[in-house]
Every structure is written in C-alpha cells, then in structure tokens.
Amino acid sequence: MLETVADLLNLLELAVLGTDAFEGTQPDPANHHIVGGHIAAQSLMAASRTVPDRPPHSLHVYFLRRGDARQPVRFDVTRLHDGGTFSARRVAATQGGETLMEGLASFTSGAEGVDYQTDMPSAPAPEELVSVEEQLAHYAGEFGGWWAAPRPFDTRYIDPPPRIAMDQQKPAEALSRIWLRSRGEIPADPVVARCVLTYLSALTLLEPAMRQMERSPMDVSALLDHTVWFHRSPHFADWLYYEQKSPTGISGRALATGAFYNRSGELVCTAGQEGYFPGRGIISSYNQLA
C-alpha cells in the first residue's frame, strides 16, 4: 500500500526508453504482486505523454497477467488517432516480454455543449466521521499492521470498511461510501489529477462486492478490467465523496461501479470494475494482476 502522497506521485514518474516507450517501477508488497490501480494510473500517464495538448477523458484497461513488483514495467504507446476534437492511444504494459495489461485511452480538449448530471446522493459530512486508521486500530496487529497503515488520503468510511464488515451481518445492499482528502499537495496539472483519480477509483471499488461475499482484500482475487470516465477536474485538498455499488456477482465474478463527487455536488468521475473471486478453499493459480 502506498503510504504518502509523495509515494503516489513518484509512482507516476516514468522513465523515457525511446519514442512512445516508457518504464515505471512499483511499490513491492509482501506478495510481490503489482496492484491494478498502480499500473492503470501509470499506463494513463504513459499515454498522456504522447498527447501534449489534450487531457484524458476516459481509460479502459484489461489486466491479463500478474506482474512482479520487484521488476520494472515497460509501457509501449501506439498512436491510433488524432482528430479535430479527440485523440486515442493504445497502451501495452509488459514485463519480460509478456503482456500484463492492455488499455485504450481517449483524450479531448472539450467542446461546447449542454452540461447535466445526476444529483449527488445525500451522505453524512466527513467532519462527522473518523479516519479509517482510527476505525481499524483494533486490527492493527493483523498482517503486519496492513489494515491501519498510513495512507496518502485521509479516508473516512460511512459504511463499515471490509475488515469490520467481516465481523458483522451481511448488509442488505452492496454499497460502500467514503470521503477522501489528500494528505499532501497534488499538482493541479490535469493529467496528474486524472492519473491520481485512476489510482483512487480502483483502490476500493470492489469493497461492496466483498461485503456480499463476506471476503476481504486479503482473499485470493484478481482484477479483470477497470474503466474510468473523467468529467470535471478534482481538487484533492478538499473532500471527495466516492459512492461505490456492486449491482451483480455471478460465476465467480463481481461487477462494481462508482462515482466521485466534490463537496459542491459536482460529478467528478465515474468508474467501473470487474473482479474475480475463486471459491473458498481453492488455491488459485489464476495468472492475473491482484
């Protein structure tokens, strides 16, 4: 888990290997798995390096193999289209010649049109809640302190976080609502902001599904894909509200969708993700990103 904003921003610093080719390093957790949100954010940064005048408005990635966080990841960008309003890029993330992830990113400078959105759901204010580290202090001795470890964002759960939910009755609705605010300065650059949102959007999105399955992030699972649509620029120094739902789980897969709103109620981004959860007691050799 990334612990500081500096760790997160360092993740987005890619080395240039050649024309449209980049390399990124990963935090190395105990299981040496590359986190899906990390490599997705890096892939968006790599694609953005080839579109200097247009910020991204969407990203769609598929996770194909589990990577080794002890080794760097190569990102090769293919320039698919540069039109009057939109640009498109394909990104392949590889390690040792094997493809870990493939994705498509789209970029636009925007156009005049009608603005509308769904209203932000009502929710308790973040000032009424405590940080997740305080909520999970009782479990700090588990997994080397993983549950209550420091985070780049002050995270405040409205619904019980997964570890607490495991000790409670299954909720009626697959729902997880949280507030987030940066614990350090994040540049206002729109590309950096959207890469950070990509990371954040993937980090907790499957938690409502975990509640229904009575599972935790420590269970064997894998991300299959992740999609983000960016609507408005975020301001990380203020609170962002993230409402996440899982409309269905079937055949070992769970689908989750989420929406970020700012304190003014504006919709900032929308995300979708599908995860794979092997049956209990199965030692999975599934070769995916965890």
pLDDT level of residue 280 (50, 70, 90 thresholds): low
Mean pLDDT of 82-90: 96
Query: By the 8 A CB rule, do 153 and 183 touch?
Result: yes
Highest-confidence range of 1-10, 49-58, 210-219, by mean pLDDT? 49-58
> Within 13 Å and on the Cβ side, how many CA atoms surround 35?
22
Q: Which residue has the tokens 């080719």?
A: 21
Would you state the pLDDT for residue 272? 98
What does DSSP say about strands 267-276 and 222-230: parallel, antiparallel, or unpaired? antiparallel
Distance CA 208, CA 51 (A): 35
Quick: pLDDT tens for 102-145.
999 999 988 888 999 999 999 999 999 999 999 888 887 777 77
Query: By the 8 A CB rule, do 64 and 39 touch?
Result: no
Reduce the DSSP state of residue 132 to 3 states and report it.
helix
Query: By the 8 A CB rule, do 34 and 28 touch?
Result: no
Inter-CA distances, 171 with 2, 109, 168, 175, 275, Å: 29, 42, 8, 8, 20
Distance CA 215, CA 178 (A): 19
Strands (DSSP E) along the chain, which ranges?
15-18, 21-24, 56-63, 73-82, 86-95, 98-108, 153-157, 175-182, 222-230, 240-250, 253-262, 267-276
Q: Which residues, in sequence order, are CB contacts of 56 under 8 Å at separation 6+? A: 44, 47, 48, 105, 106, 107, 191, 194, 230
Mean pLDDT of 162-170: 77
Would you state the pLDDT for residue 289? 40
Query: By the 8 A CB rule, do 129 and 157 touch?
Result: yes
Would you state the pLDDT for residue 283? 33
Going by the DSSP 8-state scheme, the letter that residue 214 receives in this structure is: T
Question: Which class for 102: exposed (0-12), middle (13-18), buried (19 or more C-beta within 10 A)?
Answer: middle
Would you state the pLDDT for residue 2? 86
> How far from each other are the two terminal CA atoms of the chain, in whole angstroms?
13
Distance CA 276, CA 112 (A): 40
Would you state the pLDDT for residue 217? 67
Domains of the chain: 5-109+127-276 (2.40.160.210)
Inter-CA distances, 106 with 73, 189, 274, Å: 22, 17, 21
Mean pLDDT of 87-108: 97
Would you state the pLDDT for residue 113? 87
Q: Which residues, in sequence order, are CB contacts of 125 under 8 Å at separation 6+? A: none
Distance CA 137, CA 287 (A): 33
Query: By the 8 A CB rule, do 233 and 253 touch?
Result: no
Quick: pLDDT tens for 192-242.
999 999 999 999 999 999 888 877 666 656 889 999 999 999 999 999 999
